[in-house]
Homo-oligomer: A and B are copies of this chain.
């Protein structure tokens, strides 16, 4: 008799397929579980799968009195009320590092596409402007990567993978994080100092209350009119309104964004801009990354149902 597992967030079916082969899935698909299932059905639920960015507070947890494990699909768990989970001794798991290479790759993709103005370039070819020898101020040569100063905000697993990739482009790499790491990059003790130094700021920090709006108007001003921001972490780390203002006024050269303040919504003021490259939170969205994340989810759930500690647990408190 397979164990029952609630699916809390809305996930594409293909991503849940492997779980369905092992567990009896109750798919709330982003709806409130009590709107989708009866109290009787929820009474049996001991484990659930959620997307780490989906808000999940104590009240939702309390719909399932037997809930003992919340497993995040992916590395993030910023949507969870960890204190509420801790109060009920609910174990929380995630997929640390499983998508790190894939997320780091999208960071580099956005960095290159933004600084080399790839979307403008592609449009210049497709529209016939190139064939027509039309000049475009957007197509003027830009600074490339050689010798560029790239700043990493965050030096966790994803940050390290971004740094290793970025360094291969013959750049200088610097970083700011709460503590100095044993990595061959310049350490900056504040985000201010990093932003002052670099021309591309790559946001790879774990999102949380302490990082909310950390990249604000002041930081963007320090990056300056030749500066770029790339964000593959969470939208909450950047003051999105300040970012849109800086991009619109061209006090910042451009931005590459995979994440937004209120997903899946990107504001019109942002989508109207030519100097941004926007992707729909696809950082971890590769076949091998999904398999690796699913491996973590399955390992966490199987350990939990076997009465073992989660192998990929989020440290509580």
Contacts and interface: CB of A to CB of B under 8 A. Distances in A.
Interface of A: 10, 12, 14, 101-102, 105-106, 108-109, 112-113, 116, 118-119, 121-122, 124-126, 130-131, 133, 135, 139-147, 164-165, 167-170, 264-266, 271, 277-280, 282, 285-290
Q: How many copies does the complex hold?
A: 2
A109 B105 contact: no
A286 B118 contact: no
Contacts of A143: 286-288
A193 B231 CA distance: 39
Top 7 A-B pairs, shortest CB-CB distance: A144-B286, A168-B168, A109-B112, A125-B278, A121-B279, A130-B280, A126-B271
A135 B280 CA distance: 12
B170 A168 contact: no
Contacts of A121: 278-280, 282
Nearest to A122: B278
Contact of A126 (B10, B106, B133, B278): B278
9 contacts: A109-B112, A109-B113, A113-B118, A116-B282, A121-B280, A122-B279, A125-B278, A126-B271, A167-B168
A130 B66 CA distance: 35
Given A112-B109, A118-B113, A264-B131, A280 B139 contact: yes
A14 B141 CA distance: 10
A102 B144 contact: yes
A146 B288 contact: yes
Contacts of A282: 116, 121, 139
A279 B138 CA distance: 13
B101 A146 contact: yes
Given A116-B282, A130-B264, A266-B130, A141 B290 contact: yes
A154 to B, nearest CB: 19
Contacts of A278: 121-122, 125-126
